[in-house]
Amino acid sequence: MNDSRSFIARHAIGKPVRGQALVASDGFSARYDLDRLAGVFSRPAHKLAGQSYVGRILVLDTAKGGVASAWMLHEMASRSKVPLAIVFNTVNPILVQGAAFGGITMLAGFDTDITQAIPHAAEVEIDPVARRITLL
């Protein structure tokens, strides 16, 4: 059950994390949206263009992309250029596999639009065992 500060996902993987949320009602493609060397969103049309995703908890609408995005998450993790976690309204199985392969915490599938429920720059905590994200 959701309260005003906690939201329960249908799917979760990873370890517990706490950090600042980077929120946008936009999609996520590791291949097309990111400068993986600089650690920033680089696609000019992306709502988070120019912002660093490293060490942040991304809260986005949906996962985009296929196998390339999945292996890119692993490659990003090998260089410590990854978000703490990725939170989606909807996600595809390939990106879930990529997050697992890269050791990135992920939540997906909420009863509310999570990009509207979590304020940009809010401090949040994710408990994957409880499948919960909480505003702090």
pTM over 0.85: yes
34: left (phi over 0), alpha (psi -120 to 50) or beta: beta
Which residues pair with residue 88 across a beta bridge? 60, 108
Tell me the pLDDT tens digit for each residue of 23-66: 999 999 988 999 999 999 999 999 999 999 999 999 999 998 77
How many whole angstroms from its chain centre is CA 115? Answer: 11
pLDDT at 117 over 90: yes
What mean pLDDT do residues 97-106 have?
A: 93
Which structural domains are found in the chain, ordered by start? Answer: 6-135 (3.50.30.10)
